[in-house]
């Protein structure tokens, strides 16, 4: 699912990254890949946030504080990947994050739609396991230790 969404994202925002932010094709493609990697890293780790916050983030509902925290984490990781791996300046990276992250979040929200089953499919791709109980346990981390 995520790979398909990244291909859609590349088609929608790739040309804008080149024309509006002055990136070359390699930087634009690297930026899209960094966006996907950032989502995988933050959600794949799953520590420190709850399933309800992830469902909220990828729904049409207004974000909770927890969902905003996840989004902030993704944005920070994304920015670091853009400057460290893609080689963008801080200003370019900020522009890319501001352009790409809302669209990627919207694409994920359209697919997941606040549905636990759809989220389970996405997180299953990220190595979080197949069953929802295991998924919830992983996302809750050590909260109840």
Contact 102, 13 (CB under 8 A): no
Q: Is residue 98 part of a domain?
A: yes
The number of folded domains in the chain is 1
The DSSP code sequence of 8-19 is HHHHHHHHHHHH
Has residue 135 been placed in a domain? Answer: yes
**pLDDT tens per residue, the chain (145 residues)?**
778 889 999 999 999 999 999 999 999 999 999 999 999 889 877 666 778 888 889 888 899 999 999 999 999 999 999 999 999 999 999 999 999 999 999 998 888 887 777 777 776 766 554 444 454 544 444 444 3
DSSP string computed for 59-126: SSSPPPHHHHHHHHHHHHHHHHHIIIII---HHHHHHHHHHHHHHHHHHHHHHHTT-HHHHHHHHHHT
Domain that includes residue 116, residue range: 2-140
Residues 6+ apart with CB under 8 A from 57: 63, 67, 70, 71, 105, 109
Residue 105 belongs to a domain: yes
pLDDT of residue 145: 37
pLDDT number for residue 1: 74
Is residue 145 assigned to a domain?
no
pTM, whole model, 2 decimals? 0.82
Within-domain flag for 104: yes
Q: What is the rounded CA–CA span in Å between residue 36 and residue 2?
A: 7
Rounded to an integer, what distance in angstroms lies between the CA atom of residue 55 and that of residue 115?
Answer: 7
Q: What per-residue confidence (pLDDT) applies to 127?
A: 58
| Residue 35: closest CA among 80, 91, 90 | 80
**Amino acid 130: pLDDT:** 44
What does the alpha-carbon distance between residue 116 and residue 136 come to, in Å, rounded to a whole number?
10
């Amino acid at each position: 699912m995520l790979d398909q969404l990244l291909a859609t994202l590349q088609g929608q925002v790739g040309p804008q990254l080149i024309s509006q932010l002055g990136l070359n094709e390699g930087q634009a493609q690297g930026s899209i890949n960094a966006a996907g990697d950032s989502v995988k890293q933050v959600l794949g780790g799953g520590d420190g946030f709850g399933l309800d916050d992830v469902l909220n983030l990828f729904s049409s509902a207004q974000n909770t504080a927890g969902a905003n925290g996840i989004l902030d984490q993704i944005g920070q990781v994304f920015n670091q990947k853009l400057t460290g791996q893609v080689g963008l300046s801080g200003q370019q990276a900020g522009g890319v994050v501001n352009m790409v992250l809302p669209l990627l979040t919207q694409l994920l929200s359209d697919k997941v739609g606040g549905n636990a089953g759809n989220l389970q499919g996405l997180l299953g791709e990220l190595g979080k396991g197949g069953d929802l109980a295991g998924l919830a346990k992983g996302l809750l981390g050590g909260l109840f230790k």
